[in-house]
Amino acid sequence: MLIDYSDNLIQSNSSIECGIKLLDGLKLKILFILDDKKKLVGTVTDGDIRRAMLSNIKLSGPILMAMNKKFIKYFEGSDLSGLKAKILKDDLKAIPVIQSNGLIVEVHALGAHPNQALKDNVVLLMAGGFGTRLSPLTDNCPKPLLKVGDKPIIQTIIENFIEHGLNNFVISTHYKSDMIKNYLGNGKNLNCSIEYLEEESPLGTAGCLSLLSDTHLGKPVFMMNADILTNVNFTQLLDFHLKAKTAITMCVRNYTHQIPYGVIRTNNHLIESIDEKPTQVSKVNAGIYIVNPETITNLQQGKNLDMPALINSELEKNSSAVSVFPIHEYWLDIGQIADYQKAQVDFISNFSND
Protein backbone atom coordinates (compact mmCIF):
# COMPACT_ATOMS: atom_id res chain seq x y z
CA MET A 1 0.00 0.00 0.00
CA LEU A 2 1.01 3.62 -0.44
CA ILE A 3 2.23 5.31 2.73
CA ASP A 4 2.84 8.85 3.91
CA TYR A 5 6.64 8.93 4.07
CA SER A 6 7.12 12.59 4.98
CA ASP A 7 8.27 11.73 8.52
CA ASN A 8 10.75 9.16 7.17
CA LEU A 9 12.92 11.71 5.35
CA ILE A 10 16.32 12.77 6.65
CA GLN A 11 19.02 14.99 5.18
CA SER A 12 22.34 13.44 4.17
CA ASN A 13 24.30 15.80 6.44
CA SER A 14 22.53 14.46 9.55
CA SER A 15 24.31 12.29 12.11
CA ILE A 16 23.66 8.61 12.81
CA GLU A 17 22.56 9.63 16.30
CA CYS A 18 19.95 11.93 14.77
CA GLY A 19 18.74 9.03 12.62
CA ILE A 20 18.35 6.80 15.69
CA LYS A 21 16.16 9.37 17.42
CA LEU A 22 14.03 9.78 14.30
CA LEU A 23 13.62 6.02 13.83
CA ASP A 24 12.55 5.58 17.46
CA GLY A 25 9.48 7.71 16.84
CA LEU A 26 8.39 6.03 13.61
CA LYS A 27 6.02 3.13 13.11
CA LEU A 28 7.66 2.21 9.80
CA LYS A 29 11.31 1.75 10.75
CA ILE A 30 13.12 3.06 7.67
CA LEU A 31 14.66 6.41 6.73
CA PHE A 32 15.04 7.81 3.22
CA ILE A 33 18.19 9.92 2.91
CA LEU A 34 18.01 12.99 0.69
CA ASP A 35 20.86 15.14 -0.60
CA ASP A 36 20.66 18.94 -0.83
CA LYS A 37 18.70 18.62 -4.11
CA LYS A 38 16.15 16.28 -2.46
CA LYS A 39 17.48 13.34 -4.45
CA LEU A 40 17.15 9.94 -2.76
CA VAL A 41 20.68 8.66 -2.16
CA GLY A 42 20.06 5.78 0.21
CA THR A 43 18.04 4.23 3.02
CA VAL A 44 18.76 3.41 6.65
CA THR A 45 17.12 0.87 8.93
CA ASP A 46 17.92 -0.16 12.49
CA GLY A 47 19.89 -3.09 11.08
CA ASP A 48 22.05 -0.75 9.00
CA ILE A 49 22.87 1.30 12.10
CA ARG A 50 23.83 -1.76 14.13
CA ARG A 51 26.04 -3.03 11.30
CA ALA A 52 27.77 0.36 11.29
CA MET A 53 28.35 0.01 15.02
CA LEU A 54 29.96 -3.40 14.48
CA SER A 55 32.32 -1.65 12.06
CA ASN A 56 33.25 0.77 14.88
CA ILE A 57 31.59 3.75 13.18
CA LYS A 58 30.79 6.41 15.77
CA LEU A 59 27.16 7.40 16.27
CA SER A 60 28.24 11.02 16.04
CA GLY A 61 29.39 10.35 12.46
CA PRO A 62 27.37 11.17 9.32
CA ILE A 63 24.39 8.99 8.54
CA LEU A 64 25.94 8.38 5.12
CA MET A 65 28.38 6.03 6.93
CA ALA A 66 25.46 3.74 7.83
CA MET A 67 23.49 4.19 4.62
CA ASN A 68 22.44 1.39 2.31
CA LYS A 69 23.38 2.62 -1.16
CA LYS A 70 22.08 -0.50 -2.92
CA PHE A 71 18.47 -0.18 -1.82
CA ILE A 72 15.65 -1.69 -3.88
CA LYS A 73 13.75 0.91 -5.89
CA TYR A 74 11.33 1.15 -8.81
CA PHE A 75 11.30 3.91 -11.40
CA GLU A 76 8.25 5.96 -12.26
CA GLY A 77 6.31 4.38 -15.13
CA SER A 78 7.65 0.87 -14.55
CA ASP A 79 5.45 -2.17 -13.90
CA LEU A 80 4.61 -2.23 -10.18
CA SER A 81 2.55 -5.42 -10.22
CA GLY A 82 5.30 -7.46 -8.56
CA LEU A 83 6.19 -4.83 -5.96
CA LYS A 84 4.22 -6.32 -3.06
CA ALA A 85 5.65 -9.78 -3.72
CA LYS A 86 9.14 -8.26 -3.77
CA ILE A 87 8.60 -6.68 -0.34
CA LEU A 88 7.46 -10.03 1.07
CA LYS A 89 10.13 -12.13 -0.63
CA ASP A 90 13.06 -9.92 0.42
CA ASP A 91 11.58 -8.99 3.81
CA LEU A 92 11.82 -5.27 3.03
CA LYS A 93 10.48 -2.38 5.09
CA ALA A 94 9.39 -0.43 2.01
CA ILE A 95 10.16 0.23 -1.65
CA PRO A 96 10.35 3.78 -3.02
CA VAL A 97 9.28 4.73 -6.54
CA ILE A 98 11.53 7.47 -7.91
CA GLN A 99 11.87 9.67 -10.95
CA SER A 100 14.88 9.33 -13.25
CA ASN A 101 16.45 12.33 -11.45
CA GLY A 102 16.22 10.57 -8.08
CA LEU A 103 13.25 12.45 -6.63
CA ILE A 104 10.78 10.30 -4.69
CA VAL A 105 7.36 9.90 -6.29
CA GLU A 106 5.78 7.54 -3.75
CA VAL A 107 6.64 4.82 -1.25
CA HIS A 108 5.03 1.40 -0.95
CA ALA A 109 5.01 -0.72 2.22
CA LEU A 110 2.94 -3.45 3.83
CA GLY A 111 2.48 -1.26 6.90
CA ALA A 112 4.28 -1.08 10.20
CA HIS A 113 4.93 -4.34 12.04
CA PRO A 114 3.87 -3.68 15.64
CA ASN A 115 6.19 -4.73 18.43
CA GLN A 116 3.13 -5.93 20.33
CA ALA A 117 2.51 -8.97 18.11
CA LEU A 118 2.51 -11.87 20.58
CA LYS A 119 5.53 -14.15 20.55
CA ASP A 120 5.81 -17.63 22.04
CA ASN A 121 9.42 -17.25 23.17
CA VAL A 122 10.19 -17.69 26.86
CA VAL A 123 12.06 -14.95 28.73
CA LEU A 124 14.41 -16.25 31.45
CA LEU A 125 15.31 -13.60 34.03
CA MET A 126 18.23 -14.32 36.36
CA ALA A 127 17.26 -12.98 39.76
CA GLY A 128 19.16 -15.18 42.19
CA GLY A 129 22.21 -13.02 42.98
CA PHE A 130 23.08 -11.71 46.44
CA GLY A 131 23.67 -8.12 45.30
CA THR A 132 26.51 -7.72 47.79
CA ARG A 133 27.93 -4.62 46.07
CA LEU A 134 24.63 -2.86 46.76
CA SER A 135 24.72 -3.56 50.50
CA PRO A 136 23.15 -2.32 52.76
CA LEU A 137 20.27 -1.82 50.28
CA THR A 138 20.18 -5.55 49.58
CA ASP A 139 20.62 -6.76 53.17
CA ASN A 140 16.87 -7.23 53.50
CA CYS A 141 15.74 -6.99 49.88
CA PRO A 142 16.81 -8.89 46.75
CA LYS A 143 18.32 -6.59 44.13
CA PRO A 144 15.58 -7.16 41.50
CA LEU A 145 13.01 -5.75 43.95
CA LEU A 146 14.92 -2.53 44.63
CA LYS A 147 12.78 0.36 43.43
CA VAL A 148 13.94 2.53 40.56
CA GLY A 149 11.44 5.30 40.04
CA ASP A 150 8.12 4.07 41.34
CA LYS A 151 8.57 0.33 40.79
CA PRO A 152 11.06 -2.54 41.29
CA ILE A 153 13.76 -3.05 38.64
CA ILE A 154 12.39 -6.44 37.64
CA GLN A 155 8.89 -5.03 37.05
CA THR A 156 10.26 -2.46 34.60
CA ILE A 157 12.14 -5.26 32.82
CA ILE A 158 9.01 -7.41 32.56
CA GLU A 159 6.89 -4.50 31.30
CA ASN A 160 9.45 -3.71 28.60
CA PHE A 161 9.35 -7.29 27.33
CA ILE A 162 5.54 -7.25 27.36
CA GLU A 163 5.59 -4.16 25.11
CA HIS A 164 7.30 -6.36 22.51
CA GLY A 165 4.74 -9.15 22.75
CA LEU A 166 6.80 -11.32 25.09
CA ASN A 167 4.69 -12.35 28.06
CA ASN A 168 5.96 -15.82 29.07
CA PHE A 169 8.49 -15.46 31.88
CA VAL A 170 10.60 -17.84 33.92
CA ILE A 171 12.47 -16.30 36.85
CA SER A 172 15.48 -18.05 38.33
CA THR A 173 15.78 -17.27 42.04
CA HIS A 174 17.98 -18.04 45.04
CA TYR A 175 18.59 -15.15 47.45
CA LYS A 176 15.35 -14.13 49.21
CA SER A 177 13.35 -15.92 46.55
CA ASP A 178 10.11 -15.82 48.56
CA MET A 179 10.08 -12.03 48.43
CA ILE A 180 10.28 -12.08 44.63
CA LYS A 181 7.59 -14.75 44.34
CA ASN A 182 5.28 -12.94 46.77
CA TYR A 183 5.61 -9.65 44.88
CA LEU A 184 5.22 -10.91 41.31
CA GLY A 185 3.07 -13.99 41.89
CA ASN A 186 2.02 -15.78 38.72
CA GLY A 187 2.15 -12.56 36.70
CA LYS A 188 -1.63 -12.09 36.47
CA ASN A 189 -1.44 -8.53 37.80
CA LEU A 190 1.02 -7.65 35.01
CA ASN A 191 -0.98 -9.46 32.30
CA CYS A 192 1.67 -12.11 31.78
CA SER A 193 2.63 -15.61 32.87
CA ILE A 194 5.43 -16.11 35.42
CA GLU A 195 7.00 -19.40 36.52
CA TYR A 196 9.95 -19.85 38.87
CA LEU A 197 13.12 -21.91 39.02
CA GLU A 198 14.78 -22.34 42.39
CA GLU A 199 18.57 -22.60 42.44
CA GLU A 200 19.34 -24.61 45.58
CA SER A 201 22.90 -23.34 45.27
CA PRO A 202 24.11 -20.61 42.87
CA LEU A 203 24.51 -22.04 39.36
CA GLY A 204 26.50 -19.22 37.77
CA THR A 205 25.37 -16.91 34.99
CA ALA A 206 24.21 -19.71 32.64
CA GLY A 207 23.57 -22.78 34.81
CA CYS A 208 19.89 -21.96 35.32
CA LEU A 209 19.31 -22.63 31.61
CA SER A 210 19.67 -26.32 32.38
CA LEU A 211 16.65 -26.16 34.70
CA LEU A 212 14.26 -25.21 31.91
CA SER A 213 11.82 -27.93 30.88
CA ASP A 214 10.94 -29.07 27.38
CA THR A 215 7.78 -26.97 27.51
CA HIS A 216 9.96 -23.84 27.64
CA LEU A 217 12.07 -24.79 24.66
CA GLY A 218 9.77 -24.58 21.68
CA LYS A 219 11.57 -21.47 20.42
CA PRO A 220 14.78 -19.54 21.16
CA VAL A 221 14.94 -18.32 24.76
CA PHE A 222 15.61 -14.74 25.83
CA MET A 223 17.95 -14.56 28.80
CA MET A 224 18.69 -11.44 30.82
CA ASN A 225 20.10 -10.38 34.16
CA ALA A 226 17.35 -8.96 36.37
CA ASP A 227 19.44 -5.95 37.39
CA ILE A 228 19.70 -4.26 33.98
CA LEU A 229 17.75 -1.16 33.12
CA THR A 230 17.38 -0.87 29.35
CA ASN A 231 14.96 -0.08 26.55
CA VAL A 232 16.56 -2.40 23.98
CA ASN A 233 14.22 -3.25 21.11
CA PHE A 234 13.61 -6.94 21.81
CA THR A 235 11.64 -7.38 18.59
CA GLN A 236 14.64 -6.29 16.53
CA LEU A 237 16.93 -8.47 18.67
CA LEU A 238 14.82 -11.55 17.93
CA ASP A 239 14.68 -10.74 14.20
CA PHE A 240 18.46 -10.36 14.19
CA HIS A 241 18.97 -13.70 15.94
CA LEU A 242 16.69 -15.59 13.58
CA LYS A 243 18.40 -14.12 10.52
CA ALA A 244 21.89 -14.76 11.93
CA LYS A 245 21.02 -18.46 12.46
CA THR A 246 23.48 -18.79 15.33
CA ALA A 247 23.22 -20.86 18.51
CA ILE A 248 23.56 -17.80 20.73
CA THR A 249 23.22 -14.06 20.22
CA MET A 250 24.83 -11.78 22.77
CA CYS A 251 23.98 -8.10 23.14
CA VAL A 252 27.06 -5.90 23.33
CA ARG A 253 27.72 -2.26 24.07
CA ASN A 254 30.58 0.03 23.20
CA TYR A 255 32.66 0.89 26.26
CA THR A 256 34.98 3.88 25.94
CA HIS A 257 38.08 4.11 28.11
CA GLN A 258 40.73 6.80 28.05
CA ILE A 259 44.25 5.75 28.95
CA PRO A 260 45.61 8.48 31.27
CA TYR A 261 49.14 8.24 29.85
CA GLY A 262 50.94 8.64 26.57
CA VAL A 263 51.03 5.29 24.75
CA ILE A 264 54.37 4.51 23.11
CA ARG A 265 54.72 2.30 20.04
CA THR A 266 58.21 0.95 19.53
CA ASN A 267 60.28 -1.05 17.09
CA ASN A 268 62.99 -2.67 19.19
CA HIS A 269 64.75 0.24 20.93
CA LEU A 270 63.31 2.94 18.63
CA ILE A 271 60.10 4.90 19.17
CA GLU A 272 57.74 4.75 16.19
CA SER A 273 55.03 7.02 17.60
CA ILE A 274 53.45 8.38 20.74
CA ASP A 275 49.72 8.74 21.23
CA GLU A 276 48.90 11.06 24.13
CA LYS A 277 46.09 9.76 26.35
CA PRO A 278 44.31 7.80 23.61
CA THR A 279 40.68 6.71 23.82
CA GLN A 280 39.97 3.04 23.30
CA VAL A 281 36.58 1.60 22.43
CA SER A 282 35.77 -2.01 23.29
CA LYS A 283 32.65 -4.11 22.86
CA VAL A 284 31.45 -5.40 26.24
CA ASN A 285 28.88 -7.98 27.27
CA ALA A 286 25.51 -6.32 28.01
CA GLY A 287 24.04 -9.30 29.90
CA ILE A 288 21.23 -9.96 27.40
CA TYR A 289 21.14 -13.09 25.22
CA ILE A 290 19.03 -15.30 22.99
CA VAL A 291 19.87 -19.00 23.19
CA ASN A 292 18.60 -21.73 20.90
CA PRO A 293 16.78 -24.74 22.43
CA GLU A 294 19.33 -27.20 21.00
CA THR A 295 22.12 -25.51 22.95
CA ILE A 296 20.12 -25.66 26.17
CA THR A 297 19.12 -29.34 25.89
CA ASN A 298 22.80 -30.32 25.70
CA LEU A 299 23.55 -28.81 29.13
CA GLN A 300 24.08 -30.95 32.21
CA GLN A 301 21.15 -30.29 34.52
CA GLY A 302 21.97 -28.41 37.71
CA LYS A 303 25.65 -27.92 36.90
CA ASN A 304 27.29 -24.59 37.70
CA LEU A 305 28.07 -22.80 34.45
CA ASP A 306 28.99 -19.25 33.51
CA MET A 307 28.01 -17.67 30.22
CA PRO A 308 31.60 -17.19 28.94
CA ALA A 309 32.21 -20.93 29.38
CA LEU A 310 29.02 -21.78 27.48
CA ILE A 311 29.91 -19.41 24.65
CA ASN A 312 33.46 -20.74 24.39
CA SER A 313 32.09 -24.28 24.33
CA GLU A 314 29.82 -23.40 21.41
CA LEU A 315 32.68 -21.67 19.58
CA GLU A 316 34.88 -24.75 19.96
CA LYS A 317 32.22 -26.76 18.15
CA ASN A 318 31.53 -24.07 15.53
CA SER A 319 33.47 -20.82 15.17
CA SER A 320 30.35 -19.18 13.71
CA ALA A 321 27.99 -20.29 16.48
CA VAL A 322 27.71 -16.98 18.35
CA SER A 323 26.66 -13.58 16.99
CA VAL A 324 26.68 -10.14 18.58
CA PHE A 325 23.83 -7.62 18.54
CA PRO A 326 25.17 -4.11 19.20
CA ILE A 327 22.81 -1.95 21.23
CA HIS A 328 22.58 1.82 20.96
CA GLU A 329 19.58 2.15 23.26
CA TYR A 330 19.72 3.19 26.91
CA TRP A 331 21.43 0.56 29.09
CA LEU A 332 22.61 0.51 32.70
CA ASP A 333 23.90 -2.37 34.81
CA ILE A 334 22.82 -1.58 38.37
CA GLY A 335 25.77 -3.20 40.11
CA GLN A 336 26.88 -0.59 42.62
CA ILE A 337 25.41 2.20 44.73
CA ALA A 338 26.52 4.86 42.21
CA ASP A 339 24.72 2.95 39.42
CA TYR A 340 21.57 2.75 41.53
CA GLN A 341 21.65 6.48 42.15
CA LYS A 342 22.17 7.15 38.44
CA ALA A 343 19.24 4.86 37.60
CA GLN A 344 16.91 6.99 39.73
CA VAL A 345 17.75 10.05 37.62
CA ASP A 346 17.74 8.23 34.28
CA PHE A 347 14.39 6.55 34.92
CA ILE A 348 12.48 9.80 34.59
CA SER A 349 13.68 10.52 31.06
CA ASN A 350 13.84 6.94 29.76
CA PHE A 351 10.95 5.04 31.36
CA SER A 352 8.49 7.42 32.99
CA ASN A 353 5.13 7.76 31.26
CA ASP A 354 4.53 11.19 32.73
CATH superfamily placement of domain 119-350: Spore Coat Polysaccharide Biosynthesis Protein SpsA; Chain A (3.90.550.10)
Q: Which of 13-17, 91-95, 237-241 has the lowest mean pLDDT?
A: 91-95
Residue 27 confidence (pLDDT): 87
Task: Give per-residue pLDDT as tens, 284-323.
Answer: 999 999 999 999 999 999 999 999 999 999 999 999 999 9
For residues 214 and 266, what is the distance between their CA atoms, to the nearest angstrom? 57
DSSP string, 82-148: THHHHHHHTT-S-EEEE-TTS-EEEEE-S----TTS-EEEEEEEEE----GGGTTTTSSS-GGGSEE
Give me the chain's average pLDDT, please.
94
What count of Cα atoms within 13 Å lies in the side-chain half-sphere of residue 325? Answer: 28
Residue 298 confidence (pLDDT): 93
Residue 112 confidence (pLDDT): 54
pTM of the model: 0.86
Residue 113, pLDDT above cutoff 60: no
Distance from chain centroid for Cα 354:
24
Count Cβ atoms within 10 A of the Cβ of residue 221 and give its class: 0-12 exposed, 13-18 middle, 19 or more buried: buried
Percent of the chain whose pLDDT exceeds 70:
97
Residue 191, pLDDT above cutoff 90: yes
Task: Give per-residue pLDDT as tens, 64-107.
Answer: 999 999 999 999 999 998 998 999 888 899 999 999 999 999 99
Distance from chain centroid for Cα 12:
26
CATH number of the structural domain 6-108: 3.10.580.10
The verdict on whether omega for the bond into residue 326 sits within 30 degrees of 0, i.e. cis, is no
Q: Domain boundaries in the chain?
A: 6-108, 119-350
Task: Give per-residue pLDDT as tens, 258-288.
Answer: 999 999 999 999 999 999 999 888 899 999 9
Count Cβ atoms within 10 A of the Cβ of residue 43 and give its class: 0-12 exposed, 13-18 middle, 19 or more buried: buried
Checking 131-134 for CB contacts under 8 A at 24+ apart, the result is: 131/175, 131/227, 133/335, 133/336, 133/337, 134/334, 134/335, 134/336, 134/337, 134/340
Please report which confidence band the pLDDT of residue 244 belongs to, taking 50, 70 and 90 as the band edges. very high
